[in-house]
Structure 1
Amino acid sequence: MTVIGAVCLPQLPPERFHDLVRTADEAGLAELWLWEDCFLGGGVATASAALAWSSRLRVGVGLLPVPLRNVALTAMELATLHRLFPGRVQIGVGHGVQDWMGQVGARVKSPMTLLREHVTALRGLLDGDRVTTAGRYVQLDGVALDWPPESFVPILVGASAPRTLELAATAGDGVILAGGTTPGQVRAARETLGDGQLVVYLHAATGADAAERLERERVRWSYPTLDDRAVAGDAAAITEQVRRWASAGADTVVLQPTPDDPDPEGFLRFVAGLSL
Structure 2
Amino acid sequence: MPDNRIWFGADGNSRPSVKRFLSEVAAGVLAQSVWLHEEVGHNQDASREIRALFPDDAFGTPKPEKLIHRVIFLATNPGDLVLDSFAGSGTTGAVAHKMGRRWIMVELGEHCHTHIVPRLKKVIAGNDPGGITKTVNWRGGGGFRYYRLAPSLLKKDKWGHWVINPEYNGEMLSEAMCKLMGFSYAPSQSLFWQHGHSTETDFIYVTTGSLSHDQLRVISEEVGNERSLLICCKAFMADVSAFPNLTLKKIPKTVLHKCHWDHDDYSFSIDVLAEPEAVPEWEEENEDA
Shorter chain as denominator, the TM-score bin is under 0.3
| The structure with more radius of gyration | 2
Which protein, 1 or 2, shows the higher relative CO under an 8 Å CA cutoff with sep ≥ 6?
A: 1
